Structure 1
């Protein structure tokens, strides 16, 4: 998706458009030694999220999560577990280019637990407007879409994977 592409997330919206596609994405839930959570501000909707992106042909879900984290934040991580699989039809994403709808997607997200290996925070401007380590107690200060907050809250509160 280009920078000119806008993303509109619908959550539990009976008036949301019907999906035209499904695509698998990988996200990574990363905490530092102080317990802070890695968040980034998306450029396509100005909401905060954990590193997330589509799984490309020829790569595993784990490879996609590691790649997306590096692209979006500049940080290197390794996958150490599973937060869960999030595939509820209550989340629909509309991708628009100008006034034209490019795609209406019902996502399947596999959220992975990851451990920081190194690197320096250096977001690519096309990927993230900002990257921060955030104390979980401060999450309420950040605009986060409910579908992403569901992943984050599950990762914070549970060790067993979520499946929906």
Structure 2
């Protein structure tokens, strides 16, 4: 039996472990025709997030965003723009199997804008406990990591891509 991966996110925490890697990831900020935000609850830390995942060798950032959205939510998107580049050293992620630390990552995330072009909500059980559309005014009631909340805020209110 394989042990489940656990993820611990740190934000502006002086006690956070020092990063051992720096990797690119893609996330997608998607709203429906009513302005609701596509959200999912992660299986590895129980936090709410937008579709997000690592960029694999041989794929573009846009391809990674499309793939991750499909894998995590069952929905197909097309990329329509850039929310921003989020690379703050304030965000550190620890990945663990059992009590063993596998990696301490400082992410570089490219958050893309996307729109639904097909599929239906069907969470992948290893990726998402649930997927739902959330009205922006109700996001404050969700347990969302500050680094993800920053992406969402720029997706909702930013006019130019965020670079930080």
For the superposition of Structure 1 and Structure 2, which TM-score range results when normalised by the shorter chain?
over 0.9
What is the match of residue 91 of structure 2?
A: 91
Q: Secondary structure at the match of 2:72?
A: helix
What is the match of residue 161 of structure 2?
A: 161
Q: Secondary structure at the match of 1:159?
A: coil
Tell me, in whole angstroms, the C-alpha distance in 2 between the residues paired with 1:3 and 1:134: 32
Tell me, in whole angstroms, the C-alpha distance in 2 between the residues paired with 1:51 and 1:31: 12
Q: Secondary structure at the match of 1:153?
A: helix
Residues 113-156 of structure 1 show CA distances to partners (whole Å, capped at 9, x for unaligned) of 00111111001101100000000000011100000000000110
Question: Deviation at 1:75?
Answer: 0.2
Q: Is the 8 A contact 1:42 1:49 kept in 2?
A: yes
What is the match of residue 63 of structure 1?
A: 63
1:121 lines up with 2:107 in the alignment: no
Question: Deviation at 1:3?
Answer: 6.9
Tell me, in whole angstroms, the C-alpha distance in 2 between the residues paired with 1:3 and 1:33: 40
What is the match of residue 41 of structure 1?
A: 41
Aligned residues: 163
CA RMSD of aligned residues (A): 0.9
Q: Is the 8 A contact 2:3 2:98 kept in 1?
A: no
Q: Secondary structure at the match of 1:122?
A: coil
What is the match of residue 12 of structure 2?
A: 12
Residues 56-102 of structure 1 show CA distances to partners (whole Å, capped at 9, x for unaligned) of 00000000000000000000000000000000000000001101100
Large movers: runs of 4+ above 3 Å = none
Ranges in structure 2 where 5+ consecutive residues have no aligned partner: none
The TM-score, its normalising length taken from structure 2, stands at 0.98
Tell me, in whole angstroms, the C-alpha distance in 2 between the residues paired with 1:120 and 1:83: 24
The TM-score, its normalising length taken from structure 1, stands at 0.98
